[in-house]
Amino acid sequence: MSNIKKGVIGILTGGGDVPGLNPAIRAVTIRALREGWQVIGFRRGWGGLVDTVRDKNADNSKNFQYLTEEIVNRAGRTGGTFLHTSRTNPSSMRRSNVPSHLADKFSAEKNDLTPEVLKNLEFLGVDYLIPIGGDDTLSYGVRMYKEGVKVIAIPKTMDNDVPGTDYCIGFSTCVTRTIALTNSLRTIAGSHERILVLEVFGRYAGFTAMLPTMAGAANRCVIPEYKFKIEHLTELLIKDRQMNPSNYSVLLISEGAMYEGGEMVFKDLSTDAFGHAKLGGIGDLVSAEIKELSAQFNKGKPVDVVNQKLGYMVRGGDPDAIDSIVPMAFGNLALDLILKGIHGRLVVLKNGRYDNVPLDVVTATKKVVNVAQFYDTERYRPRYENFEMKPLFIMTSEL
């Protein structure tokens, strides 16, 4: 370990938690400390950077902490993020969320606190900043880079929808949990001869519904990228049920899936800091309609539905093998770039190889399922063909 301090690295985790965040923090910290760098962990994503008080005598323990090997080793094998997380967007802070020590300075209904974030980074002497998050968290990372901050980003989201990379931390564990939970719940559907409808994460991208279905967890899936016809979906599920010796069938439905002629289903009219309304309820609506429509495809007899939202169950607990290995590699990739003096990059996994790409890819495009290539729009399920030279998770490459 070097005795000469080479600089300061800041790291934060934003957006929804996923298994694999703590291994990524650990990887960055262990390597950085041994290379002679100091590491600051910001709490609650961009929130800790907004709330920091620029006074050496102030108590900022709730806003950031200096990381040690002991701290990160203890957390590194666990799920979630010990730094905590939030959906804070410093470029558009509601007046009610502006920290009290800045309330006199920022009193508009929406406020851009970016100047304060930049001053706080300077106050702490941060040389490089490593945000770990999805497209919302990383979009503000792009803003930071454009403001002159040396940013290296790590992609995280169980939806696996950050552009530029085939893989995002959290996705494998989400798929693993979805398969396991579906297989647990199918015994109930089979015992009662019902249709099992499971709502899974996926606002704009249907990867978390597609991959478990492809792996055999469900008969059908509906995804945000293709609007479905409820009558046709019901007919398919009834046929699946009739063909199953145990007399049940299974549907995975993305939270962002939409009826033909309809829009996304939201819980209420409230939005988060990035303007996203909270999704939820498409599984309930579809379950009720399937039960109502089922009789016309089942000789006049309605079929009951088991309806469950998997929700946080797929993002809780420890990371699986892939979400232990990939974060380790991503963290070390970030350090490799820092040691070379490179910044403005997103570390990625492309075509089975670790790499890095320009950071602004995060805001330049969207990553969704290629419907024409991977989704059978008549059968509401993945296509099982042309696997040669595809990446590990088949449909996650943008090529």
- The Cα–Cα gap between 177 and 158 comes to 11
Q: What is the pTM of this model?
A: 0.93
Phi, psi of 394 (to 5 degrees): 65, -65
Beta bridge partners of 39: 9
Provide the pLDDT for residue 391. 87
What the block records as the tokens of 41 is: 């962990």
> Which candidate, 62, 51, 46, places its Cα nearest to that of 272?
46
- The Cα–Cα gap between 48 and 136 comes to 16
39 contact partners, CB below 8 Å, separation of at least 6: 8, 9, 10, 11, 28, 29, 32, 33, 66, 67
Q: How many CB atoms lie within 10 A of CB 51?
A: 24
3-state secondary structure of 303: coil
Candidate list 17, 51, 159, 161, residue with the active-site label: 159
In the chain, CATH 3.40.50.450 sits at 7-169+317-364
10-residue averages of pLDDT along the chain (399 residues): 78 96 97 96 97 96 97 92 95 94 94 97 98 96 98 96 96 97 97 97 95 97 97 98 97 95 68 60 94 97 97 94 97 97 97 95 94 96 91 81
Beta bridge partners of 129: 10, 151
Class of residue 269 by CB neighbours under 10 A (exposed 0-12, middle 13-18, buried 19+): exposed
Provide the pLDDT for residue 351. 87
In the chain, CATH 3.40.50.460 sits at 172-314+371-382
Q: Are 240 and 249 in contact (CB under 8 A)?
A: yes
CATH number corresponding to 7-169+317-364: 3.40.50.450
3-state secondary structure of 259: strand
E strands along the chain, which residues?
A: 7-13, 37-42, 64-66, 93-94, 110-111, 128-133, 152-155, 195-200, 220-222, 249-254, 266-271, 277-279, 305-309, 345-350, 353-358, 375-376, 381-382
The amino acid at residue 178 is T
> Which candidate, 384, 376, 349, 290, places its Cα nearest to that of 168?
349
3-state helix, strand, coil in the chain (%, to 5): 35, 20, 45
- The Cα–Cα gap between 15 and 20 comes to 14
Provide the pLDDT for residue 3. 59
CATH label, 172-314+371-382, candidates 3.40.50.300, 3.30.300.30, 3.30.420.40, 3.40.50.460: 3.40.50.460
- The Cα–Cα gap between 311 and 329 comes to 28
Which tens digits make up the pLDDT trace of 199-242?
999 999 999 999 999 999 999 999 999 999 999 999 999 999 99
- The Cα–Cα gap between 255 and 274 comes to 18
> Which candidate, 34, 36, 20, 14, places its Cα nearest to that of 129?
14
DSSP one-letter code for 397: -
Q: Are 188 and 389 in contact (CB under 8 A)?
A: no
DSSP per residue, 272-294: -TTSPEEE--HHHHHHHHHHHHH
Catalytic annotation present for 159: yes
- The Cα–Cα gap between 382 and 384 comes to 6
Provide the pLDDT for residue 281. 85
Q: Are 19 and 50 in contact (CB under 8 A)?
A: no
Q: Are 302 and 294 in contact (CB under 8 A)?
A: yes
- The Cα–Cα gap between 221 and 202 comes to 12
264 contact partners, CB below 8 Å, separation of at least 6: 203, 224, 256, 258, 277, 279, 282
The amino acid at residue 25 is I
